[in-house]
Chain A
Amino acid sequence: MGNIVEVDGLQKTYEGGFQALRDVSLSIQKGEIIALLGPNGAGKTTLISTLCGISSPTGGTARVGGFDILTDYRATRSMIGLVPQEVALEPFEKVINTVRFSRGLFGKPRDEALIERILRQLTLWDKRNSRIMELSGGMKRRVLIAKALCHEPRVLFLDEPTAGVDVELRRDMWGIVEDLKQSGVTIILTTHYIEEAEAIADRIAVINKGEILLVEDKANLMKRMGQKTLRIELNEPAKSVPDALAEYALDLSTDGRTITYTYDTNHSRTGITRLLQDLSDAGLSLRDIQTTQSSLEDIFVGLVQEGAA
């Protein structure tokens, strides 16, 4: 599959001198879901705004569908749908009219059947004649999505689509994202919820302080950086870790009942067999054993902290 978005050395320095993007390069493949993870102020929204034409880059280039975002802005923008972070809608207008407006604005002829299908999919059809200001927060977010989808974008930017949204709507949205992916739409998602990236993304890009720290396949990332921990509960509390076990760098809980061992799943020898043997040789009696995989969140926090150090 080819790349639909190519960002090369993109920079954005605001008038005040704040450098929101420093030399960002990123390739996004057609049909994938990529999650941009990063703390507040990392540059996620600036990157999206620049690609969509809301803010102008101060350096570098970006291409969408093979077209330059500045010189061929009509071609790139008509391919892009944007669901912004802030709920920004004309309060007095009816739902269906704002959606029709978006379709027209993007140069697409009227298509009432398509608009009906989108509104039904987003469970907005019954509210089509309501004014925006009469809708709940979650409904307004759905309207934003409908507006972005109604001009049939090939690339969809979702800027924190589920911030402040209830669990049910979040699940709905993940379903919609999955459907869009099936229909061939490329999705770029920014999120604070690592759980969200873990649930729906194919690839993860971590951005901090205007720089891409890493772009990787989600499964690979978790495998590559994934550490597992082995928690061993003891029948009798231990005062300290026996000297014979020093090489394992074990962690003993303060009540002396749990020992934690961290190991790398990719290592040819995890050392578990030997550890268990040595534990029993040391006279410790085991009550229970459990292993846990480190989550994307742990990986993410680790990366960002590493960058800060």
Chain B
Amino acid sequence: MNLLAIGAIYRFEMNRFFRTFMQSFISPVISTSLYFVVFGAAIGSRIDQVEGVSYGAFIVPGLIMLSVMTQAISNASFGIYFPKFTGTIFELLSAPVNFLEVVIGYVGAAATKSLFIGVVILATSALFVDLQVQHPFAMMAFLVLTCLSFSLFGFIIGIWARNFEQLQLIPLLVITPLVFLGGSFYSISMLPPIWQTITLFNPVVYLISGFRWSFFGTADVSIAVSLFAIALFSGICLFLVWLIFRTGYRIKS
């Protein structure tokens, strides 16, 4: 294992993050505050409680997941797409590294960035609402796993994308709707029966439900199913990444 190479990739990618640190820090703080103003104060005042939790607190896990998923995808996809765009990918291909080391470096950095943003949102939320975390270890585990699996997914998008439009396409057309419809801002039980069934086909539901369970101890679906869903998603992403490097798909001629 070329640990020095992994470290070099990781540091190089984190540098990109530190260059725009204020931007990376302020934007989640502002967007979280806006969500609390709109959903917490304006709408939340008309919704009393959801599953025994104040609406303001109820949306916190969903808010964190929303940002973490989109940030993980955009960081990881950009991280690997940019070298393809500038041509610096030649160095990665000619270096004595294997695919696993490249993935650990890039995905590790993207996951770290999104984890940081998740924690910032959690801290910002604590300023607005009274938060309780019943299972802190499970909460961190869910958060870290989500950061990792969505960074892996972003990495795949970055490899696949041929231009900047394609880079934005999947996050915009697939991920954002799935996250919004995945119970970020409501409980599945609030939907009409037919929509409750349809919603179960949305993988994001399981992630948000499991994550919310770690906060409040209540969930839309069983925690075991949530864990299985995130493990399955990570497994599929890992397999795709392995295939990409095996075949040199869109990176090697």
Chain A residues with a Cβ under 8 A of chain B: 14-15, 49, 52-56, 73-75, 77-78, 80, 82, 84, 86, 88-93, 97, 100-109, 147
A-B contacts counted at CB < 8 A amount to: 84
Asked if B224 CB lies within 8 Å of chain A CBs, one says no
- Which of chain A's residues have a CB closer than 8 A to the CB of B93? 52-54
- Of chain B, the residue at the smallest CB distance from A73 is B96
On whether the beta carbons of A104 and B88 are closer than 8 Å, the reply is: no
Assess A105 versus B90: contact at CB under 8 Å? Given A56-B252, A74-B2, A92-B19. no
The distance from the CB of B37 to the nearest CB of chain A, in whole angstroms, is: 34
Q: Which of B3-11, B150-158, B237-245 contacts A (4 or more CB under 8 A)?
A: B3-11
On whether the beta carbons of A105 and B8 are closer than 8 Å, the reply is: yes
Q: Jot down 11 A-B pairs with beta carbons below 8 A, ordered by A.
A: A49-B253, A56-B252, A73-B96, A80-B94, A84-B90, A90-B83, A92-B19, A93-B15, A101-B12, A104-B4, A105-B97
The distance from the CB of B22 to the nearest CB of chain A, in whole angstroms, is: 15
Assess A107 versus B2: contact at CB under 8 Å? Given A54-B252, A93-B12, A97-B15. yes
- Which of chain A's residues have a CB closer than 8 A to the CB of B248? 56
Asked if B95 CB lies within 8 Å of chain A CBs, one says yes
For the residues of B in contact with A, the DSSP-based class is: helix
Q: Which of B7, B15, B96 contacts A77 (CB 8 A)?
A: B96
On whether the beta carbons of B86 and A91 are closer than 8 Å, the reply is: yes
Cα separation A103 to B97 with both chains bound (whole Å): 12
Q: Which of A49, A55, A80, A105 contacts B9 (CB 8 A)?
A: A105
On whether the beta carbons of B16 and A88 are closer than 8 Å, the reply is: no
Cα separation A104 to B7 with both chains bound (whole Å): 7
Given A56-B248, A104-B4, 20 more pairs with CB closer than 8 A: A14-B253, A77-B95, A77-B96, A82-B91, A86-B87, A88-B91, A89-B86, A93-B15, A97-B15, A101-B8, A104-B7, A105-B5, A105-B9, A105-B91, A105-B92, A105-B95, A107-B2, A107-B4, A107-B97, A147-B91
- Which of chain B's residues have a CB closer than 8 A to the CB of A103? 8
The distance from the CB of A14 to the nearest CB of chain B, in whole angstroms, is: 7
With an 8 Å Cβ cutoff, the count of chain B residues facing the other chain is 28
- Of chain A, the residue at the smallest CB distance from B89 is A88
Asked if B25 CB lies within 8 Å of chain A CBs, one says no
- Which of chain A's residues have a CB closer than 8 A to the CB of B2? 74, 107
On whether the beta carbons of A97 and B12 are closer than 8 Å, the reply is: yes
On whether the beta carbons of A77 and B94 are closer than 8 Å, the reply is: yes
Q: Which of A90, A100, A106 contacts B5 (CB 8 A)?
A: A106
- Of chain B, the residue at the smallest CB distance from A110 is B4
- Which of chain B's residues have a CB closer than 8 A to the CB of A77? 94-96
Asked if B82 CB lies within 8 Å of chain A CBs, one says yes
Cα separation A82 to B7 with both chains bound (whole Å): 21
Q: Which of B7, B11, B82, B94 contacts A53 (CB 8 A)?
A: B94
Assess A104 versus B11: contact at CB under 8 Å? Given A55-B252, A90-B82, A90-B88. yes
The distance from the CB of A167 to the nearest CB of chain B, in whole angstroms, is: 26
Cα separation A171 to B245 with both chains bound (whole Å): 41
- Of chain B, the residue at the smallest CB distance from A88 is B87
On whether the beta carbons of B12 and A108 are closer than 8 Å, the reply is: no
On whether the beta carbons of A52 and B15 are closer than 8 Å, the reply is: no
A-contact bits for B80-122, CB 8 A (1 contact / 0 none) = 0011001110111111111000000000000000000000000
- Of chain A, the residue at the smallest CB distance from B94 is A52
- Which of chain B's residues have a CB closer than 8 A to the CB of A55? 252-253
A-contact bits for B9-45, CB 8 A (1 contact / 0 none) = 1011001100100000000000000000000000000
- Which of chain A's residues have a CB closer than 8 A to the CB of B96? 73-75, 77-78, 106-107
Cα separation A91 to B83 with both chains bound (whole Å): 10
- Which of chain B's residues have a CB closer than 8 A to the CB of A73? 96
- Of chain B, the residue at the smallest CB distance from A79 is B96
Cα separation A102 to B90 with both chains bound (whole Å): 11
The distance from the CB of A202 to the nearest CB of chain B, in whole angstroms, is: 24
Q: Which of B5, B11, B253 contacts A107 (CB 8 A)?
A: B5
- Of chain B, the residue at the smallest CB distance from A94 is B15
